Amino acid sequence: MKNLALLSIISLVMMTMPVIAQKQVSIRISAHSSEAPITMGIPFPKGALFSPDKVRLLNHKGVEIPSQITEVSTWEPVDNSIKWIWVFFFSEKSNEYTLEYGPDVIRKPYSGPRIEMTNNQRPGGFAEINTGKLKFKINNGDNGFISEAYLDIDNDGFEENDLIASNDTQRGSFLDILDDAGVDRSKAIITRTIKEKGSGPLHAIIRIEGEYQYGREDNNPSPFVTRIHAFAGRSYIKVLHTITYTGIPDKHTVQKGEHKNIATQNEHLIETYDTEDPGWVQPNDRIAAAGLNLTYHLDVNKDFIAGYENGDWWNKESAELYEANVSAGFKNLSLVQSGPNANSPSTVFSTAHDRVGDFAAHITCDKTNELSASKAEGWIDYSDSKWGVAAGIRNFVEEYPKGFDLKQNEANVYLWPPTSEPMSFARNSGKLDGQMLDNFAQGLAKTTEVTYNFHDSKKSTDQLRKELDFFLNPPAAHADPQWYSDSDVFGKFSPRKSEHSEYERGMDYKFDWMLFNQNWQPWYGMFDYGDFQTYYYKKRWYMWSNNEPAQDFMFWMQFMRTGDQRYFKAADATSKHTMDVDNIHWPAFPKYNAASNDAVDYWDYQGKKSGTPYLGIGRRHASQHWIALLSAHVWIQGWITSYYLNGYHRGLEVARQTGDAYIRRIWGEHGLTGRRLYLSVWNLTELWDATKEDRYGLELKYRVDRMLELQQGPDQYNSLVMDRYGYSQVYASQGLSQYYRITGDEKVRRALVKHARAIRDNTPWNHMYESYLSTIHSLLIGYEYSKEPGFLREAIKRAEILKTDKLPTSMDNYDTQQDLADALSKVSHLPDDPRNTRFGGEANWSITQGLRVFGWTHAYNVPALLYWLREEKAK
């Protein structure tokens, strides 16, 4: 009886205890392909997840599949739960998956092929990765890339006869410079190899740091970074190779001093500009060639295959194959993709009615042209009767010129082919641009994505192309759009829905207008692709935007709202361009890595020369990316989002450079006022949240306190933003609201409510609609934190002109730029600008302009507005 009573009590307790349900996140893959390696970031709300071990992935049948989970960041300091994870897996036939999480979730132990990774950092050390199918080695101080690669096609373990590729030179990677003395061929030296976060049994990443050295003393050494991704049981790799240009870009006579826009002192200023100096347009150090090199271990008789497309360069045509057999007699076989004026594509424009031409792909064997087409698919395969190596370059056409070159078994993947006109960074003219006349090309960077597929001869061409496409046209994995909003990692915003389409159209049409023009102008080229131009007047585009104001983040947000792969591709390209080309990366400050046993290394490090004060600083909008700087022009939000969503490590790496620049305070009080202050708070909040490093947190707190102090001063009527920079309302409200989410600092919440009240009662018109519409997000934050209905009413009132009518037909049905521009102008309710008499009243904020002002009028306002409109309707 006692046992029966005890069982009854236990049963009653169990019935009344809350059931801990396993929670789920829906995942879908756009441009799905089975067996593809997928890395995706998933955010979590505060308090939802406390261990990456309490997560597992299910396929469309509800069956768990192998996955690798990495904790990326937490909600600290306000909460110790997990904020972001990376999920890695190999896709199956279905494009639908479910992520299951909760305290009772137990992920199955992984029992499949595992990656073995060695990173020996001793002097003369090496890194080695073994996927089970492929093994490759990277030697410190060696050639700048893979020194040995083994392919086990017999599944009997790695033996000497499994060596498929090697490199015994110091030219595994190269960046050759051309000046008046001729070509200076680089020598690559690897200095460090580092195992990256996100490495595990299924997917591993090795970071290679090194330096290109030159034979002539007048050519500066150039740093490079290469990240190699390897995958369990697979024989392909992804390579992300970053070069840095350290040359002297032109021959102008250098004046002593700094420009007032970026002055770090006032003793030596450049007061006048020598616009007649012919040296501005005369190139000095040019890129003659850049790429990766391997020697393949193949027989004399080899098969060569490449994919190409005929027809117009701007259309997706059916793919064709070029196939040839080559023997011992040939000397050189190459594939090169060119485009209009590769040296300076931004000087070549389509008209409003017609696209430019001049895109061409040529396959040449021993100087004989074997094939010409409009564009290549960006890959080649070179094989014998036993095995082969395929290589591909992502964005082969968009980032022209690109190429491949084969000399018997020596294979070059050209990021800049030596047969193309050398890349010049001289100015297009000696005219004032971006309010200054200078050239800041020294220190820009560029990352290119390459894939190698080591395979046996039995692999079909179809399977090979499929595997190459995992990287050349990668699938885009995304959670249910509602999940990103519910997680609150970026605040309250609404996924795209059918209701309130009058607001949604304003978002969709603008993003699609920019993508249309990217493929019309075209905004292509190795150092241009990923950016968008700013002003569209009289059917002509002017000035690169250089990311103002976080244009890549706008695309990432639109991707999260929609799951549309087009926006994923645009966001990815824009982040990669802006973090590399639109910032200064060299000369860098020396870093002490403690990778040596010798204490003297620290003192040697202490004695090294300092870097440029402008390290980590961004470019101002101008006709070329590298000819103007400004003290408030760098946005890191999209870079860190690419790190979270896409596992792109360089995004956080470059963001740190900007954070370190803030800590140096090179502009003194100037950098702690106005939009420079508001933008720095937004940037530093995101960086501190991603790193949790005290040095960023302390600098951020100082700047937040300063913003709140200035708000109480006599000049700002309780506004966080001074009237001079009214369009920067979004910087203040985005940065401080994000800071409040991760700290819970009540002073900040009260300041944001006070600010909303100030701008509600004092309508800012100092930049007309740029300032007026920029207040919408601030008003909505005030409403969220106070529930004062007047804030929401005023936000809705101000957003009235953002409503957009429906186009009479789909955007795809407009044949020319002018047809689409005219149609868009008719459906927009945005007013003209009476001040802009030069262009007949056409406004900076019009629907046909670029994304710069759109960030202040729409991109950071409409998603939040739609959230509250739908939230209030649901009530």
Residue 7, pLDDT score: 43
How far, in Å, are 316, 356, 833 from residue 313 at the CA level? 8, 10, 37
Q: Bigger pLDDT: 436 or 685? A: 685
- The CA distance from 713 to 736, in Å, is 18
Instruction: Name the average pLDDT for the chain.
Output: 94
Retrieve residue 774's tokens: 């920029």
Retrieve residue 366's tokens: 């021993």
Looking at the predicted structure, is the pLDDT value of residue 439 above 90? yes
pLDDT digits (tens, 9 = 90+) for 565-593: 999 999 999 999 999 999 999 999 988 88
Retrieve residue 692's tokens: 């949790």
Residue 20, pLDDT score: 44
pLDDT digits (tens, 9 = 90+) for 622-668: 999 999 999 889 999 999 999 999 999 999 999 999 999 999 999 99
Question: pTM of the full predicted structure?
Answer: 0.96
Whether 177 and 220 have beta carbons less than 8 Å apart is answered as no
Retrieve residue 388's tokens: 């082969």
Measured from the Cβ of residue 746, the count of other Cβ atoms closer than 10 Å reads 9
Positive or negative, the Cα torsion across 487, 489, 495, 500?
positive
Mean pLDDT of 237-265: 95
Task: Give the pLDDT band of residue 5 (cuts 50, 70, 90).
Answer: very low
Looking at the predicted structure, is the pLDDT value of residue 777 above 60? yes
Retrieve residue 176's tokens: 């050759």
Residue 1, pLDDT score: 45
Closest C-alpha among 129, 135, 131, 91 to residue 114: 131
Whether 81 and 44 have beta carbons less than 8 Å apart is answered as yes
Retrieve residue 463's tokens: 């399977």
Q: How far is CA 317 from the centre of its chain?
A: 27
Retrieve residue 428's tokens: 């297009």
Q: What are phi and psi of 869, to 5 degrees?
A: -60, -45
- The CA distance from 851 to 839, in Å, is 19
Task: Give the pLDDT band of residue 348 (cuts 50, 70, 90).
Answer: confident
- The CA distance from 277 to 7, in Å, is 95
CA-only gyration radius of the chain, Å = 28
**Token match 């940037």: residue?**
683
**Token match 């980032």: residue?**
399
Buried/exposed 486-522: b ≥16 CB within 10 Å, e otherwise:
bbbbbbbbbbbeeebeebbbbbbbbbbbbbbbbebbb
The number of helices, as runs of H, and strands, as runs of E, in the chain is 18, 32
Residues 6+ apart with CB under 8 A from 736: 681, 685, 704, 707, 720, 748, 751, 752
Task: Give the pLDDT band of residue 11 (cuts 50, 70, 90).
Answer: very low
- The CA distance from 428 to 624, in Å, is 8
- The CA distance from 251 to 430, in Å, is 12
pLDDT digits (tens, 9 = 90+) for 137-173: 999 988 999 999 999 999 999 999 999 999 988 899 9
Q: Measure CA of the first residue to CA of the last residue in the chain; give whole Å.
A: 53
- The CA distance from 210 to 202, in Å, is 27
- The CA distance from 630 to 551, in Å, is 17
Q: Which ranges of 550-614 would DSSP assign to H, the alpha helix?
A: 551-562, 565-580, 600-606
Residue 9, pLDDT score: 43
Q: What are phi and psi of 260, to 5 degrees?
A: -60, -30
Closest C-alpha among 465, 467, 489 to residue 479: 489
Looking at the predicted structure, is the pLDDT value of residue 21 above 70? no
Looking at the predicted structure, is the pLDDT value of residue 862 above 60? yes
**SS3 state of residue 685:** helix
Strands (E) in 333-386, as ranges, are 333-338, 360-365, 368-373, 375-383
Positive or negative, the Cα torsion across 842, 847, 852, 856?
positive
Residue 610, pLDDT score: 83
| Three-class HEC string of 474-492 | CCEEEECHHHHHHHCCCCC
Mean pLDDT of 794-822: 97
Mean pLDDT of 481-487: 96
Whether 78 and 743 have beta carbons less than 8 Å apart is answered as yes
Mean pLDDT of 549-566: 97
Looking at the predicted structure, is the pLDDT value of residue 47 above 90? yes
Residues 6+ apart with CB under 8 A from 178: 184, 285, 286, 287, 288, 422
Tell me which H or E stretch contains 259.
none
Mean pLDDT of 395-407: 97
Largest CA distance in the chain: 106
Measured from the Cβ of residue 469, the count of other Cβ atoms closer than 10 Å reads 18
Mean pLDDT of 789-807: 98
Residue 3, pLDDT score: 52
